[in-house]
Amino acid sequence: MKVTVDRDKCCGAGQCVLLAPDVFDQGEDDGIVLLLDAEPPESLHAAVREAAAVCPAGAIDVSEDA
């Protein structure tokens, strides 16, 4: 799994941090998403997919091929 985030789209809702805190964080100065792990372990795949699904700004992209 390969994760990418679009910091221009992000609206700082923080749902990704709640669902997968080992993969996503928010910048201390702007609240915008920070990607901590672009290739998370399989145990986190479900949470990351869910984070992408509930991201209100569509700022998280998950590619399953990688």
* Least CB distance to another protein at residue 16 (A): 9
3-state DSSP of the chain: CEEEECCCCCCCCCHHHHHCCCCEEECCCCCCEEECCCCCCHHHHHHHHHHHHHCCCCCEEEECCC
Nearer to another protein, 17 or 44 (CB): 17
Site for another protein in 4-63 (CB under 8 A): 9, 11-15, 17-19, 21, 25-32, 53-54, 56-58
List residues binding another protein (CB under 8 A).
9, 11-15, 17-19, 21, 25-32, 53-54, 56-58
